[in-house]
Structure 1
Amino acid sequence: MTDDEVVEAVRDRARAGSLPAPAPPAAVTEAEQTIGFPLPPLLRRLYLEVANGGFGPDDGILGVRGGACQGDWNDLAEIYQEGPDPSGQIPAGLVPVYDWGCTIWSLVDFRDPTGPMWCTHEGDCWPQGINLAQWLAETMTDTLTVRRLLASQPASVWPPL
């Protein structure tokens, strides 16, 4: 899917009334300042034009201030600062956006405008080999699963499933 197709697919879900309102521009700017990197353009566009989180798998990804929360986390900036990774192994610029449970998180690489996706589990961190647009497309079609995430883990980190 192209970025425009992803935006339209998320917009269709928002029309069904299941997503929060778009984020205020100030909340997006605040998150970028706290994180120290700009949001990838697709994520920024989704937050500002469609919904402040809540899209993606199950209950959806975290929003910025005032948007969709997940578990004990209220927004992207908060989780980036306090993070689910007590080991400190997650590189700067990788922002947790979705908790799959069992200490498995999907992260977006804010250092790259295409938003490459990463995964972390129990302190290990590795690239998923897809970008944010692909990740969202796969989560909306239920083709991205925890099993697939763990299978993308390099053998040197964890034996593939």
Structure 2
Amino acid sequence: MTDDEVVETLRAVGRGRALPPPAGADAIDEAERVIGFRTPPLLRRLYGEVANGGFGPEDGVLGVSGGHAQGDFRDIAELYQDGPDPSGRVPAGLVLLYDWGCTIWSLVDFRDPAGPMWCSHQGELWPQGITLGEWLIGTSTGTVTVHTLLDSEPAVERDQ
């Protein structure tokens, strides 16, 4: 699916939801300044053309400043600035995008314009093998769920 098709699909899905208005370029630029990486082009388009967050799975992804919040988390830059991982296991440039609950997060990789998706659960972090566009379409249609994310979790021996 092309970026144009993802934008149009999420715009159509969003018509039935109460989404915030699109973000201004200044809010997106400020998030990039705080994070230290450019927003993947698809995410930048979605924030600027569809809505400032709120699209995607269930109650929607976090926006940039002034956009969709999720629980106690106001926006991606504030959350990134506060430090996504006190253990230091999350590399710079991986940005928390969606909180599934129960310490399960979906993260988007700002280091790569394609926006590869990652998952974090109970201190473990692994790539999902899909891009932001695939993740957004999958979460919007129900083919990507918290269960499919956890099913892809690598087997890691943990200290008992």
TM-score (norm 1): 0.93
Equivalence for 2:154: 154
Would the alpha carbon gap of residues 53 and 157 (structure 1) be closer, same or farther in structure 2, given more than 3 Å must change? farther
SS at match of 1:32: helix
2: CA distance, partners of 1:83 / 1:74: 14
Q: Which residue of 2 aligns with 1:19?
A: 19
1:101 paired with 2:104, answer no
Superposed displacement of residue 17, structure 1: 4.9
Separation in 2 of the partners of 1:157 and 1:30? 40
Distance 1:60 1:84 in 2: 19
Residues 92-140 of structure 1, C-alpha deviations (whole Å, 9 max, x = no match): 0000000000000000000000000000012111100100000001011
Q: Residue 70 of structure 1 aligns with which residue?
A: 70
Counterparts of 1:17 and 1:70, CA distance in 2? 15
Aligned length, in residue pairs: 158
Task: Give ranges in structure 1 of 5+ residues lacking alignment.
Answer: none
- In structure 2, stretches of 5+ residues that fail to align are none
Residue 127 (structure 1) aligns with: 127
Could you tell me how far 1:157 is from its partner in structure 2? 6.1
Q: Superposition pairs for residues 78-89 of structure 1, below 5 Å? A: 78-89=78-89
Letter in 2 for 1:73: F
Q: In the alignment, is residue 92 of structure 1 matched against residue 92 of structure 2?
A: yes
The 2-side partners of 1:2 and 1:156 are apart by 35
Bigger shift: residues 77-86 or 20-29? 77-86
- Alpha-carbon contact 2:84-2:90 (below 8 Å) kept: no
Q: Which residue of 2 aligns with 1:9?
A: 9
Q: Find the aligned partners of 1:23 and 1:86 in 2 and give their Cα distance.
A: 29
TM-score of the two chains, using structure 2 as the length reference: 0.94
**3-state SS of 1:117 partner:** strand
Q: Please identify runs of 4+ aligned residues in structure 1 that moved more than 4 A.
A: none
Contact 1:70 1:99 survives alignment (8 Å): yes
